[in-house]
Structure formats: C-alpha cells, structure tokens
C-alpha cells in the first residue's frame, strides 16, 4: 500500500502522522466488507487529510463530499485529496443544495454503487437530511446507516422518518475540547478579518460592541476567547434562559436577542439555527459585522433573506461579503457567512479534532459490524465507546497511564 498523503503544504507536521496512526489503530479492530462504499461529508481542511486517508483505506471507494464553506477556498488541497487512492472527490459547488433534491440524491448515490454494494453515510451538517427518508426506502438492502457529526446537522434529521439507524456524536463530551478549539480559531480569525478588511481590532470598544448569540459550547468558548483579548463589555443571549445564569457573575451582560442585535454591531452567531430574524435585520440602525460558527444558511437562513429582499448582496471577496438591508445599512458576513476560520489553515497542531473524528468513524464502524444492534432512527454513540476513545487518545498523544 502506498504511503498516505498526510500533508499538503506544510514542511513538517508531527500531528498529521500521529493522528493518522491513532485513527488507523482504532479502525483496524473491525473487519469490513470488500465492496464497501463510504459517503463522507467534511470540510476541505489540511487537518482532515489523516482522517480522509484512513477512511479511504477502510472502503473500496470513499466518496468525499467537501462542505460548501471550504470547497472553493482550497482548490489546491482538493487536487491533493484526489491523489489519495480510492478517494473520489465531489468538487461540485452547492453540494448541500444539490443533495436536498431527492431525485438528484438518489442518482448521485447510484452512480457510485452497484446493486450489491453496501454503503455508509458519514454526514456533517445534515447534507443528506432532506432525502434521508427516500434513501432508506430506495436503498433498503444496501444502506447500512448514517452518522451525524454536528448538533445543527442533527437538528435537520429530527422529525424525519428514518428506517435505518442514525448515530449522532454531536453531543458527546469528548467533542467539547474541539468546540473550544474552534471557538478560539473563530475569534482569532474574526480579529484578523477585521484588521485586513476594515483596519479595526476586535477589542476596539470605541467602535465595536460585541454580542454572542447562543450559549452552548461554541458560544461559551467564543466568550472565553473574547475576554482573553481584553474585551469586557460582552452581551450574550440564548433561547434557554437557564444557560444565561452562569454569565452575570463573570461580568457578562445577558439580554434578549432583540436587545442584543439593537445594541451590538459585532455579532458572533453560535446557534446553528437562525440566530437573527428578518425583523431584526429590517430594524438595524447601524452597520453590522457578523461571524458565524456554522454557516449563513443555518445561522441566518440567508437564501430566504435574499429571496425576500431583506438583504441584497453588494460586494464579495475571499474574506467578506457585504449586503445591504432594505434601509440601506451594510451587513458584513465574515468568510462569506461561513465559519470565520474557513478561509485559513486550521486544525493542524492540535489533536482535539481526532477525538470527534474517531467518534464519527467508530459510529460508522459499529454500524458496519452489526447494524442490528441499533434501532431505526436517531441514537447516540454509547458512553463506554466515548470513554474508550478518550482513554486511547490520552494514551496516544499524552502518554496517559
């Protein structure tokens, strides 16, 4: 077997090889069918290369579906991924929109399998959610099951009729370190975008008033890293008031979403599901800078806003998209409305990403080994598996005894 392609542009990276070996050892404990096809949705990050290599070695064919946020930003990296044996890259833009179409989704799957091919879907962000009921029916004998990585992706599967098992790893405690790492990246790169595009620093309290919508792992992480940059006047809101009770003792202002949008002009949207409503946008009285932790589709329902004329696109470049409200105020979406770290190299040098990749992969491996141990519909990876991954990760990266 040829050597795995673990790096793209870095001269050396200790964690790429180390991460590959961690995931590889975990996968070798499972015996897989020779003709297995894996459909995997994931970001086109350099840090994803070890994981992609392991998945490609597991499957007869890996269908790599880059998330829309990074497919256009990294064409050179896509070319590198295409060199991985048995990895077939779906490089079409608007992959999410295409897969929402049931007829397209069925055709897409059929072009990569034969009538006797078993396949597994490793989803990230609910790309297959709109078509999942039909997939389970059309491929009743071939679809082994589905796994979902993220909380906002899982939300899209809820209330769908799913006759195959769907294992989620979105709420595992071992995903928390990676969420905090992502929060740090998002704050850091939002600051970088402000500097490069607008000549501003994120802690410019004379011009920027900062608000965080959503108090989950990512929202709390954003607040932590904003405070580390010396920002003290932070507002936070959440649909669940219980999550807000922890903040007043730390000097964080709690408020409603409406009040936050009215009084803050640098927003971090951390909910995964419509942080800001059209009515809030219509009521804006100043320019607004927005950084999302997922995508503008999820956080703002951007396609609907554009279709309804609530926002009109004005300018765009690699780092920012500018829109105008109906009242003529500018709304600037960092990274085009995707997570603010997507235009940059992220995920390297920190092994926390291998925790959730291991969980996502293990969920799929357990489905392949014996899908009958799972019931149809949504369920979580079991606690014992989560503990096992954590222990092995600590041992592999930090010599845990």
- Is there a single domain that holds both residue 137 and residue 196? no
Is 78 inside a domain boundary? yes
CB 282 within 8 A of CB 325: yes
CATH code, domain with 231: 3.40.50.720
Of 337, 363, 378, which residue is a domain's last? 337
CA distance 193 to 5: 31
Does a structural domain hold residue 216? Answer: yes
Same domain, yes or no: 37 and 103: yes
Do 165 and 45 belong together in one domain?
yes
Is residue 298 within 8 A of residue 152, CB to CB? The reply is: yes
User: What sign does the dihedral 179-183-184-188 (CA atoms) show?
Assistant: positive
324 and 276 share a domain? yes
Instruction: Give the chain's residues under pLDDT 50.
Output: none
Question: 149: exposed, middle or buried (C-beta count within 10 Å: 0-12, 13-18, 19+)?
Answer: buried
Residue pair 92/66 in contact by the 8 Å Cβ criterion: no
> Residue 286 has what pLDDT?
92
- φ, ψ (nearest 5 deg) of residue 309: 80, 10
Answer whether residue 44 is part of any domain: yes
In a domain? residue 3: no
Name the phi and psi angles at 17, rounded to 5.
-65, -40
Last residue of some domain: 337, 371, 389? 337
| pLDDT of res. 249 | 93
Place of tokens 């979403």: 257
DSSP one-letter code for 196: I
Residue 299 contacts residue 274 (beta carbons within 8 Å) = yes
Identify whether the C-beta of residue 168 lies closer than 8 Å to the C-beta of residue 147. yes
Is 7 domain-assigned? no
pLDDT at position 345, please?
59
Those residues whose C-beta lies under 8 Å from the C-beta of residue 141, and which sit 6 or more positions away, are: none
Backbone region of residue 274 per phi and psi (left: phi > 0; alpha: psi in -120 to 50; beta: other values): left
Give domain status of residue 5, yes or no: no
The span from the CA of 250 to the CA of 264, in Å, is: 19
On whether residue 9 sits in a domain, the answer given is no
* Host H or E run for residue 191: helix 176-193
**Residues 326 and 392 reside in one and the same domain:** no
Strand residues in 271-338 grouped as ranges (E) = 288-292, 311-316, 320-325, 330-334
User: Domain range spanning residue 321?
Assistant: 176-337
Q: What is the mean pLDDT of the chain?
A: 91
Which CATH number covers residue 94?
Answer: 3.40.50.1480
Shared domain for 158 and 29, answered yes or no, is yes
The predicted pLDDT at position 232 comes to 87
DSSP secondary structure letter of residue 164:
S
**Separation of first and last alpha carbons in the chain:** 33
pLDDT digits (tens, 9 = 90+) for 12-39: 566 788 999 999 999 999 989 989 999 9
Tokens standing for residue 154: 């899982």
Is the same domain home to 193 and 239?
yes
Q: What is the pLDDT of residues 33-69, one digit of tens each?
A: 989 999 999 988 888 899 999 999 999 999 999 887 7
Task: Tell how strand 330-334 and strand 320-325 pair up.
Answer: antiparallel
Q: Are residues 96 and 244 in the same domain?
A: no
The widest CA-to-CA distance across the chain, in whole angstroms, is: 64
Same-domain pairing of 134 and 228 = no
Q: Strand 61-66 and strand 288-292: pairing?
A: unpaired
List the structure tokens of 301: 């329902």
Domain edge (last residue) among 293, 317, 337: 337
Domains of the chain: total: 2
Residues 243, 366 share a domain: no
Question: Residues 308, 370: one domain?
Answer: no
Nearest in space to 269 (alpha carbons), one of 231, 239, 295 = 295
Locate all alpha helices (DSSP H) within 95-175, ordered by sequence. Answer: 95-100, 102-110, 132-138, 151-157
Q: In whole angstroms, what is the distance from residue 273 CA to residue 197 CA?
A: 27
Based on the domain organization, do 328 and 366 belong to the same domain?
no
CA–CA separation, 293 and 339 (whole Å): 5
Cβ-count burial of 224 within 10 angstroms (0-12 exposed, 13-18 middle, 19+ buried)? middle
CA distance 16 to 21: 9
Query: Is the dihedral angle over the CA atoms 350, 269, 341, 71 positive or is it negative?
Result: positive
- What pLDDT digit, counting tens, does each position of 175-215 carry? 888 888 889 989 999 999 999 999 999 999 889 999 999 99
Does 31 reside within a domain? yes
Ramachandran region, residue 370 (left: φ > 0; alpha: ψ -120 to 50; beta: rest): beta
Tokens standing for residue 234: 């932070």
């Amino acid at each position: 077997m040829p050597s795995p392609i673990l790096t793209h542009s870095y001269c050396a990276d200790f964690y790429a090889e180390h991460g590959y070996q961690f995931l590889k050892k975990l996968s070798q404990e499972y015996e897989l069918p020779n003709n297995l096809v894996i459909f995997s949705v994931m970001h086109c990050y350099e840090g994803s290369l070890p994981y992609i290599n392991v998945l490609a070695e597991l499957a007869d064919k890996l269908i790599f579906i880059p998330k829309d946020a990074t497919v256009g930003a990294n064409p050179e990296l896509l070319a590198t991924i295409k060199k991985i044996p048995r990895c077939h890259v779906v490089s079409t833009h608007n992959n999410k929109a295409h897969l929402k179409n049931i007829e397209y989704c069925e055709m897409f799957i059929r072009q990569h399998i034969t009538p006797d091919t078993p396949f597994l879907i490793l989803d990230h962000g609910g790309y297959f959610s709109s078509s999942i009921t039909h997939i389970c029916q059309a491929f009743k004998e071939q679809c082994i099951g589905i796994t979902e990585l993220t909380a906002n992706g899982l939300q899209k599967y809820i209330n769908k009729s799913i006759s195959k098992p769907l294992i989620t790893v979105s709420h595992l405690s071992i995903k928390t370190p990676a969420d905090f790492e992502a929060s740090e990246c998002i704050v850091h790169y939002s600051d970088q975008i402000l500097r490069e595009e607008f000549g501003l620093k994120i802690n410019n309290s004379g011009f920027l008033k900062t608000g965080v919508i959503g108090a989950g792992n990512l929202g709390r992480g954003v607040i932590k890293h904003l405070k580390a940059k010396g920002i003290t006047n932070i507002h936070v809101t959440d649909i669940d008031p219980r999550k807000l009770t922890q903040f007043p003792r730390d000097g964080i202002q709690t408020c409603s979403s409406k009040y936050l949008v009215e009084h803050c002009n640098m927003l971090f949207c951390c909910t995964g599901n419509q942080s800001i409503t059209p009515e809030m946008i219509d009521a804006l009285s100043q320019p607004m800078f927005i950084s999302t932790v997922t995508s503008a589709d999820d956080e703002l329902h951007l396609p609907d806003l554009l279709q309804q004329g609530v926002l009109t696109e004005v300018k765009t470049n690699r780092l920012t998209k500018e829109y105008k409200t109906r009242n003529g105020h500018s709304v600037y979406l960092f990274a085009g409305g995707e997570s603010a770290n997507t235009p940059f190299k992220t995920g390297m040098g920190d092994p926390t990403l291998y925790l959730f990749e291991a969980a996502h992969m293990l969920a799929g491996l357990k489905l392949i080994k014996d899908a009958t141990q799972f019931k149809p519909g949504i369920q979580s990876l079991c606690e014992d598996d989560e503990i096992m991954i954590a222990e092995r990760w600590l041992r592999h990266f930090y010599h845990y005894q």
